[in-house]
Every structure is written in C-alpha cells, then in structure tokens.
Amino acid sequence: MSGYLTTHVLDTAAGCPGEGIDLVLYKVNDGQLSELKRATTNDDGRVDSPILSVDEFAVGTYELHFFAGDYFRRSGTALADPAFLDEVVIRFGIADADAHYHVPLLISPYSYSTYRGS
C-alpha cells in the first residue's frame, strides 16, 4: 500500500484558510465509530502531515468531523444559538489502498461543500 489521506479547510465567507480548526478522523465499522486521529489545521488551513499515513491507510469507510462552529466563534462571527453548522461531518469511502485521497472542506456559517481533491 502507498496511499494516504490529507485535508484542508477554506473559509469561503472570509476568503481565507480555515486556521485552527480542530478535526477528528473516525473509521466506520458496522455502524460504529472508532477514533483514529485528532488534528488541528495550521495557518494555511492544512494539517501538517497526512491524517492517515502510508502505514495506517486502509480500504474502508471513514468520517471526518470538523469543529467549524468553534472556529467561527473564535473569529468573532455571530452565530445563531444553536449554530446552523457546528460540527461538520463528512463520511467518505476509500476504495483504492494505493491512492492519495484528499478531502477538503469549504465552509461558511451557513453552507459547506467537499470533493475528492488531489
């Protein structure tokens, strides 16, 4: 296997990287979540190293949980109580153990999108 998993976050409302966003990666097994890794985005909105390295990478279903509400509150963005988007969850599958999977998050207080990046 030579695949690995990366992510980054862009704040589309402010037009900047999503700096300091905490995230958790889970593996999904029979509907149960197993925590694999915690990380925080750097000043470029990226995690400094792969979330899943070559040694950890495996075919399966995963979830990335991004704590976007905390980020927006710290940045001074006024949010409703409760926030429309607080914890953003992206469930995705890894089917190729030799590929690079990049799962970016484009976020604003009221919307988000993702795609399989490169």
> Which tens digits make up the pLDDT trace of 35-72?
999 999 999 999 999 999 988 999 999 999 999 999 99
Alpha-carbon distance of 3 to 13, in angstroms, equals 32
Confidence band for 32, pLDDT divided at 50, 70 and 90: very high
Q: Match 């029979």 to its residue by tokens.
A: 30
Q: Match 């153990």 to its residue by tokens.
A: 97
Alpha-carbon distance of 60 to 20, in angstroms, equals 28
Q: What is the residue-averaged pLDDT of the chain?
A: 96
- Domains along the sequence of the chain with CATH: 4-114 (2.60.40.180)
> Which tens digits make up the pLDDT trace of 63-116?
999 999 999 999 999 999 999 999 999 999 999 999 999 999 999 999 999 999
- Contact criterion met (CB below 8 Å) for 92 and 1: no
Q: Which two tokens stand for residue 109?
A: 């207080």
Quick check: 1 pLDDT over 80?
no
